[in-house]
Chains A and B, each alone.
Chain A
């Protein structure tokens, strides 16, 4: 399996089942492969590893496979798996943990749009307190797809603007020091 580790300064610490259980707080070992998660999942058609296989792989310690899967980025966080799991494993939350690990370790090129989106979204909120749709989508389109990506989105954006569904200029900054503090603490942890 192609693994793209774009890390500075040596290879990262190995991730075990225990690591993922500790980070997520979910007892992945209790999964007995009933496959309810995968049967209810609306995204399996686009996944390389089905949700029940993700849990199985983690149990077996095959963590690189899941951290570098398409599955974790294709997952739409619809929470059907979490709702139906008979062992109360919050599978959607396990997906979050895997995305966090993947982001730290370097996301493979074919799924790079997702971490770009989340980064752009959060930097927009950090700057403004509230998310400003137009600047967020424009910055994402540009960073993920270059000028061509921006142009592709521009027709949609113009229609939104013409219908008065997007604000051209963001409002004043909201949330005062608290938003600064929340983001500063999050960055300090890293």
Chain B
């Protein structure tokens, strides 16, 4: 199966392990990711705060490329996903692109990484490739805001209770914990401008994950993962309370279950030590 692929700027940098683990997992599942040639930034949060048309056009430029490829488009970053879906809806409702000449048709679906894997590959094929079930691991799945909200943009069937990562992790043998914070905000959008507020939100999520009995958090967004993973030391120092909760990309754990030999390299890039837990569970 072939799909087009928009990695986005973070997956080229701070979330390089998400990109690599996703590509490797896709290969293992026979999912061919065709990267949009010469893709550019989706405009992220800064474009829509500044100018509505600029936001539609920056995202729209990439939609025009995907249009030519004519396949379902995988967008692993929640913020990019949200911007591309917003532009898609705006253009289909008659909105225009500034500075770009082509017409947009939009005969393809835009999906987040986890949704595309769960919907297009399916449970049976995901289970068939397992070499090492994730037995004994108790994750909570964390989706954050922008793959689910608002449903008029994301087309999420249940924006209050997304399930794709839960289903994938359950299929791989993990004992997924339920919690009420899977789509609560981590403050990713304001981490650089209001770090003191964003860290309060991260702390709440870490506390709630622990309260749910989780031993790790599974994320599917580079900003969520980065926020939850890289700020634990600061939160610990500021609150005098120990935090040590590994935050995995769901694709890293898929790689683990499918025997990807590079998983350890991905985990070395995390700020919060992420290998000990997996070794304790005989998974690494």
Q: Which of A's residues lie within 8 Å of B, judged by CB?
A: 42-43, 45-46, 73-74, 76-80, 82-83, 90, 92, 96, 99-100, 103, 113-114, 117-119, 121-122, 125, 129-134, 137, 140, 144, 156, 159-160, 163-167, 171, 174-176, 178-186, 189
Contacts and interface: CB of A to CB of B under 8 A. Distances in A.
A77 B151 contact: no
Contacts of B198: 76
Contacts, number: 162
Contacts of B269: 163-165
Interface string B68-99: 00000000000000000000000000000011
A83 B48 CA distance: 18
A76 B61 contact: no
A182 B149 CA distance: 27
Given A76-B187, A121-B44, A131-B9, A82 B150 contact: yes
14 contacts: A42-B185, A77-B189, A79-B150, A82-B150, A114-B193, A121-B44, A131-B41, A133-B9, A134-B13, A164-B269, A165-B15, A174-B40, A178-B61, A181-B98
Given A83-B159, A178-B100, A130 B41 contact: yes
B105 interface: no
A22 B48 CA distance: 16
Given A100-B51, A185-B99, A129 B271 contact: no
Given A74-B194, A118-B46, A182 B13 contact: no
Contact of B57 (A82, A144, A164, A182): A182
Interface residues of B, number: 54
Given A122-B50, A125-B43, A131-B44, A46 B194 contact: yes
A165 B145 contact: no
Contacts of A90: 150
B236 interface: no
Given A83-B159, A130-B12, A175 B51 contact: no
Contacts of B44: 121, 131
Nearest to A91: B150
Given A80-B185, A129-B40, A182 B45 contact: no
Given A83-B159, A179-B40, A182-B98, A125 B58 contact: yes
Contacts of B197: 43, 46, 74
B49 interface: yes
Given A125-B58, A140-B192, A175-B61, A80 B49 contact: no
Contacts of A121: 44, 46
A79 B145 contact: yes
Interface string B236-250: 000000000000000
Interface in B182-202: 184-185, 187-190, 192-194, 197-198, 200-201
B145 A78 contact: yes
B52 A96 contact: yes
B41 A182 contact: no
B79 to A, nearest CB: 9
Given A76-B145, A76-B201, A166-B13, 8 more contacts: A77-B45, A77-B48, A82-B149, A131-B41, A178-B40, A181-B98, A181-B99, A182-B98
